[in-house]
Amino acid sequence: MVTINSYDEFAQFLGKNIGVSDYVELNQERINTFADATLDHQWIHVDTERAKTESPFKSTIAHGYLTLSMLPYLWNQIIKVNNLKMMINYGIDKMKFGQAVLSGQRIRLVADLYNIQNLRGVCKAEIKFALEIEGEKKKALEGIAIFLYYFN
């Protein structure tokens, strides 16, 4: 895990890999819980028997937004930022889902510092990320996450 205490420490990672998280499993229980939270009970996510016969994946799949929602958890495994007043999720650019995550598959986050700016004392960090599926060549999700860090 990388520990950052200031803009200057963060900037040293420009164009470099910040880190790689552990894998986390997207099992059927997690998928069902997400379906309940978002009211998205499409059969391809929650009906395991139907998915075995009718889905092109022969399995249920995680919601794309469930995969995306794992970013904060996985990001916190890669980096610890100290000396903060607050951090704000500012947005995501160039986000693309590349491959479905089947129930029971494991994903991890790979993060590089794509760009960084000092905006009148606010650190705007653009993190190029990929959510990889264990054992698969195609990524589940890629994009650039933008965070605003307000250092003390």
Query: Across the strands, what pairs with 85?
Result: none
pTM: 0.94
| C-alpha span between 84 and 10 (Å, rounded) | 13
The pLDDT assigned to 87 comes to 95
Q: SS3 of 138, please?
A: coil
Helix (H) or strand (E) holding 142: strand 139-151
- Domain 2-151: CATH architecture, name and number where available: Roll (3.10)
Residue spans of the domains in the chain: they are 2-151
Rg (CA), the chain: 17
pLDDT of 75-106, one tens digit each? 999 999 999 999 999 999 999 999 999 999 99
| C-alpha span between 15 and 97 (Å, rounded) | 23
Closest CA to 67 of 138, 17, 1, 15: 138
- The count of residues in the chain is 152
Residues of the chain with pLDDT under 50: none
